[in-house]
């Protein structure tokens, strides 16, 4: 089977929602996966465990779409995806990424996850006359456009607040504590990762006696791993914790 056919078959299985099955079918036993050098899995079994952990937090799969695909050389492909999930608390989990795969004998030996990247797919050139006509039409339309707001006015608009993350992914945080943290201005993994454990403890102490027993010492570290998409490292850390400690 040609490389284009292999990547199309793998991606088709992912688009159907069978992410775990697709990896198990096409990955080599010694497949390495990574989003950066600090976040790696070194075997199919290790990545499968991390995928199961992640998918357990998914309540609904809203959309999986492949926007583009490229065969870069004899053994490398790029696939651009958007993954749109909802967790068990109704919160969005949206990931835009390019998956770069290295192949050998019909199996994936490495997957590199390029978060926020997009492929530049070259489109066939249009006929010269058509292109010239389109350019003139665009220039004419631009001349007739009403004046837009000044750059200063546009930049004065406040930036939208970041979408809340599912903080209950952090071991030790339940739905009630997540609401308490959100009310205190900690609604995302990034915000929790940058918070000091002592400051989080102050928030918990102020929330009442039943929250004072919780120890948030590892919460920023867990949140940083979740923020960076380091699911394998997070799953390993949580396996060593008890109630977040």
pLDDT for 39: 74
Structural domain includes residue 186:
yes
Mark which of 90, 115, 140 sits at the end of a domain: 115
Backbone φ, ψ for residue 184 (5° rounding): -90, 5
pLDDT for 219: 92
Q: Indicate if 9 and 110 belong to the same structural domain.
A: yes
If one counts the domains in the chain, the total is 2
Which residue numbers in the chain have pLDDT < 70?
Answer: 37-38, 121-163, 242-245
Structural domain includes residue 82:
yes
Nearest CA among 65, 93, 82, 114 for reference residue 163: 93
Q: Indicate if 180 and 111 belong to the same structural domain.
A: no
pLDDT for 65: 94
Instruction: For helices 231-239 and 219-227, give the axis angle rounded to 10 degrees.
Output: 150
Check: pTM over 0.75? Answer yes or no: no
Structural domain includes residue 87:
yes
Q: Indicate if 110 and 173 belong to the same structural domain.
A: no
Structural domain includes residue 86:
yes
Structural domain includes residue 161:
no
Query: Which domain covers residue 183, as residue numbers?
Result: 167-239
Mark which of 87, 115, 143 sits at the end of a domain: 115
Q: Indicate if 106 and 32 belong to the same structural domain.
A: yes
CA R_g for the chain: 23
Nearest CA among 223, 182, 221, 181 for reference residue 202: 181
Quote the DSSP letter at residue 166: -
Q: How far is CA 183 from the centre of its chain?
A: 25
The C-alpha atoms of residue 124 and residue 130 are separated, in whole angstroms, by: 13
Q: How far is CA 133 from the centre of its chain?
A: 41
157 CB burial (10 A radius; 0-12, 13-18, 19+): exposed
Q: Indicate if 22 and 111 belong to the same structural domain.
A: yes
Mark which of 97, 115, 133 sits at the end of a domain: 115
Q: Indicate if 11 and 91 belong to the same structural domain.
A: yes
């Amino acid at each position: 089977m040609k490389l284009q056919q292999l990547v199309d078959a793998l991606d088709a299985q992912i688009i159907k929602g069978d992410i775990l099955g697709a990896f198990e079918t096409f990955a080599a036993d010694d497949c390495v996966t990574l989003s950066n050098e600090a976040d790696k899995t070194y075997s199919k079994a290790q990545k499968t465990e991390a995928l199961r952990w992640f998918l357990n937090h998914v309540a609904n799969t809203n959309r999986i779409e492949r926007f583009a695909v490229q065969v870069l050389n004899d053994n490398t492909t790029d696939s651009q995806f958007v993954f749109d999930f909802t967790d068990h608390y109704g919160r969005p989990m949206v990931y835009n990424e390019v998956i770069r795969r290295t192949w050998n004998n019909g199996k994936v030996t490495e997957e590199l996850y390029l978060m926020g990247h997009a492929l530049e797919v070259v489109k066939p050139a249009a006929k010269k006359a058509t292109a010239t006509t389109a350019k003139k039409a665009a220039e004419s339309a631009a001349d007739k456009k009403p004046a837009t707001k000044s750059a200063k006015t546009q930049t004065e608009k406040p930036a939208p607040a970041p979408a809340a993350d599912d903080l209950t992914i952090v071991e030790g945080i339940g739905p009630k504590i997540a609401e308490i943290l959100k009310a205190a201005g900690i609604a995302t993994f990034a915000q929790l990762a940058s918070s000091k454990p002592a400051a989080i403890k102050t928030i918990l102490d102020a929330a009442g006696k039943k929250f004072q027993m919780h120890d948030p010492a590892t919460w920023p570290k867990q949140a940083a791993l979740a923020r960076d998409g380091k699911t394998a490292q997070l799953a390993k850390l949580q396996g060593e914790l008890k109630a977040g400690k």
